[in-house]
Amino acid sequence: MNKQPTPIILCLSGLDPTGGAGIQADIEAIAAQGCHAAPVITANTIQDTHTVFGFRGIDPELIIEQGRRLFDDMPIGAIKIGMLGSAASALAAATLMSEHPEVPVIYDPVLFSGDGSQLARDELLETVRSQVIPGCRLLTPNTIEARHLAGDELSAEQAARELSTQGKSANTQVLLTGTHSNTPDICHQLYSDGELVESFYYPRLPNEYHGSGCTLASSLAAQLARGEDMLSACQKALDYTFETLQQARQLGQGQWIPKRL
Ligand code: PLP
């Protein structure tokens, strides 16, 4: 007998044909937490494990209609947002969020791929700042994305503090990921209301990975949908993500792909 309902996470993410990042990362990471992913594609990409060659937006009406049908049918426990790509996709995500303000939103602000290629059009930033971030429960930027969103004149820590004061319909917390900093160990930091709440340390692994940010944000969404509080959701999702990277495989010729299942 199945007594506990399986938490369902609506994923608004891009498609990465390598299977390393994007929607496939979400589905696998969410399944590994014992939850169910309901996938809605926001952008389509052309890429291999080295680089991104291009991307296209998806019709925003399709995103909204798909999301609405899911909300009518399934008890959605959290929304995970990854690559939006275009301002139109960001507006579609904001529309779904505003129709369900009670559902926590975890947003991984995907602006660049691992090799630094752009995964967002410039006009996306304004829409994300004004329409998406104020309704998010948690943002998971890396240091580059945090500064890009809050202001390049700020340090990454200042940017994370600033972003954690932007919540309007939600108390927006920020998990600043430290992978891109030039430090021997990796330090991830959780900020709330402009203050540092907790630091999480992990040893730096030797390889470059494709989809580590997606793995972290979607496992976090699943842990929050399971009812974990923010600190324990961060700890569990970071531990899980670290394990997937320890077991990662080089399936193509470039970045390694996390082993999530
Ligand atoms: N989402 C999509 C569709 C992508 O293609 C990428 C990177 O290529 C990402 C997200 C971000 O990947 P990562 O988790 O490595 O930051």
Could you read off the pLDDT of 179-214 as tens digits, one per residue? Answer: 888 888 999 999 999 999 999 999 999 999 999 999
Task: Tell me how far the alpha carbon of residue 95 lies from the centroid of ligand 1, in angstroms.
Answer: 23
Question: Cα(60)–Cα(50) distance, rounded to whole angstroms?
Answer: 29
Query: Mind listing the pLDDT tens digit for each residue in 31-50?
Result: 999 999 999 999 999 999 99
Q: Are 86 and 43 in contact (CB under 8 A)?
A: yes
d(Cα 109, Cα 149) in Å, to the nearest integer?
A: 9
Other beta carbons within 10 angstroms of residue 148's beta carbon come to 17
Helices (H), the chain: 22-32, 60-73, 87-99, 124-127, 143-150, 156-163, 212-225, 230-246
Q: What is the mean pLDDT of residues 80-91?
A: 96
> Is the shortest distance between the CB of 213 and ligand 1 below 6 Å?
yes
Between the CA of 52 and the centroid of ligand 1 the distance, in Å, is 9
Angstrom distance (rounded) from CA 191 to CA 172: 9
* pLDDT > 60? residue 83: yes
- In the reported structure, the alpha carbon of residue 101 is separated from the centroid of ligand 1 by a whole-number distance in angstroms of 26
Residue 85: pLDDT band (50, 70, 90) is: very high
Q: Which atom of ligand 1 is nearest to the CA of 117?
A: 8
Is residue 114 scored above 80 in pLDDT? no
Q: Whose CA is nearest to atom 15 of ligand 1?
A: 211
Q: How much distance in Å is there from the Cα of 110 to the middle of ligand 1? A: 7
pLDDT of residue 43: 97
pTM for this prediction: 0.96
Choose which residue among 119, 176, 257 to substitute to test ligand 1 binding: the one with the highest number of ligand atoms within 8 A of its C-beta.
Answer: 119
| 14 Cβ closer than 6 Å to some ligand 1 atom | yes
Of all protein residues, the one whose alpha carbon is nearest to atom 2 of ligand 1 is 22
Whether residue 19 has its Cβ less than 6 Å from ligand 1: no
Query: 198: Cβ–Cβ under 8 A, 6 or more apart, which residues?
Result: 189, 190, 231, 234
